[in-house]
Amino acid sequence: MINQIQHIPILLDEVINALSLTEDEIYIDATFGLGGYTKAILSKQNCKVIAIDRDPETKIVADNLKKVFTDRLYFINGKFSELGKFLEELKICKVGGVVFDLGVSSPQLDIKNRGFSFKLDGPLDMRMSSEGPTAAEFLDVVEENTLANIIFELGDEVFSKRIAKSIIHHRTINKIKTTHQLARIIRDAIPVKKRKIDPATKTFQAIRIYLNDEINELKKGLIAAEKVLKPGGRLAVVSFHSIEDRIVKKFFLKCLKTNSLSRHLPEIPKKEPSLEILTKKPILPSTKEINLNKRSRSAKLRIAMRTNFVSTFGEIA
Ligand SMILES: C[S@@+](CC[C@H](N)C(=O)[O-])C[C@H]1O[C@@H](n2cnc3c(N)ncnc32)[C@H](O)[C@@H]1O
C-alpha cells in the first residue's frame, strides 16, 4: 500500500544543498518517510545514510531502496529522539549532517486506515507508530479542560473550549470512532462557517501532535542531533507550522548564545556557540514548488552548522 502512494519531497534541492555532502561521510535522515531525501543524498554523493522513521510501514520503502544502494543505506525503525543511542549501538561517534522533515508523510495522510485525515473516512487512529492509545481511545477518556487546552495550545484554535465541550457531549451519546464523525462534530461546534481552511484542520493537527508527543520528540531530536554533529556538520530542519518553527528557531539561538561574563568568573566555564546559524530567515518554497505541490505551502527550512566548540548539551561517547 505505502509503495503506491506518491510523495513529492519538499524543498528537496534546498535541503540537499544545505547538507553540503562530501564523499564517504555519514548523514542521518531522521524522518525517512518515503525516502525522498535519502534517495537524493545517496544519488548525489558516494556517502552513507542512516535513515530513521518511527512508522513501521516505512521499512518496506527502505528495503526497496537497499536493493539499489546496498550497504550505503542503514534503516532504523525508531524515534529520532533516540538517534544518539542508535549511533552508539552502531559504534558511530559523529556524522556530517542531520536532516529533519517534520510532521506526517503523504501515505500517513492519504491512506484512510491511518486515521489522520478529515478528508477521508477511516478509523480514528492518528498514531505514527503502532504504540500508545489511538485518537478514538484518547477522546473516549480525556477530560474536557485538558482537551480544550490541547486544542488551543497545539492547534492555535480559538474555539477550543466549544469544540472540547461538543466532543465530550457527543461521546456520551455515541463513541467517536471515525475521522468523519469527529470532523462533523468539530465543524458543527464552530460558529464561523467561512474559514479559509476546513474548520477541522486545527483540531486534527492538535490531537495528532499530542498523541505522537511531537513537541517533546522535536526538542529531544534537536538536542541529540547537535551532539552527534562533527565540526562543520550541517543541521537542516523543515517544519510545517509555527509551533515547530518557533522551537527550531529558539534551539538555534540557544546554541548560538555565548556566555561572555564567564571570562571573569573562572568557576563558570566559558560557553562558545556550538552552532552557527546559516539561515537568518527560513528558506520558503518558491511559487513554482507551491503550485506543483500544495503540501509545501507552509514549509520552512532552517539550517545551522556545527562549530568547533563543545556541544551546548554535552558530547556523546
Ligand atoms: C514529512 S514525512 C518525511 C518525508 C521524507 N522526507 C520523504 O522525502 O519521503 C515525516 C516522516 O517522519 C516520521 N516521523 C515523525 N516524527 C518522528 C519521530 N519522532 N521519530 C522518527 N520518525 C518520525 C513520520 O513517520 C513520517 O514518515
Burial grade of 193 (CB within 10 A; 0-12, 13-18, 19 or more): exposed
Q: How much of the chain, in percent, has pLDDT values that exceed 90?
A: 88
Same domain, 161 and 89: no
Say if residues 118 and 110 touch (Cβ distance below 8 Å). no
Residue 157 Cβ inside 6 Å of ligand 1? The answer reads no
Cα 244 from Cα 282, distance rounded (Å): 12
pLDDT at 1 over 80: no
pLDDT digits (tens, 9 = 90+) for 102-135: 999 999 999 999 999 999 999 999 999 989 999 9
The whole-number average pLDDT for the span 3-13 is 87
Distance CA 163, CA 157 (A): 9
Which pLDDT belongs to residue 152?
98
Boundaries of domain holding 154: 130-211
**Is the CB of 103 inside a 6 Å radius of any atom of ligand 1?**
yes
Domain boundary among 196, 211, 226: 211
Residue 274 in any domain: the answer is: yes
Whether residues 91 and 152 share a domain: the answer is no
The C-alpha cell that represents 86 in the structure block: 542508535
What's the domain count of the chain? 2
Same domain, 10 and 87: yes
Cell of 217: 520528540
Report CA-CA distances (Å) from 317 to 28, 85, 183.
18, 10, 48
Q: Is 35 in the pocket of ligand 1 (CB under 6 A)?
A: yes
| Residue among 6, 53, 222 whose CB has most ligand 1 atoms within 8 A, to mutate | 53
pLDDT at 263 over 80: no
**What pLDDT is attached to residue 291?**
96
Task: Look at the alpha carbons of 112, 51, 213, 202 in this order and tell me if their dihedral is positive or negative.
Answer: negative
Task: Share the mean pLDDT of the chain.
Answer: 94
**Is residue 101, in this structure, part of any structural domain at all?**
yes
Q: Is the pLDDT of residue 317 over 60?
A: no
Query: Is the minimum distance from the CB of 107 to ligand 1 under 6 angstroms?
Result: no
Q: At what angle do helices 144-155 and 201-211 cross, to 10 degrees?
A: 100
How many Å lie between the centroid of ligand 1 and the Cα of residue 29? 9
Find the 258 Cα to ligand 1 centroid distance in Å.
32
264 band by pLDDT with thresholds 50, 70 and 90: low
Q: Cell numbers 515547530 label which residue?
A: 244
Supply the pTM of this predicted model: 0.95
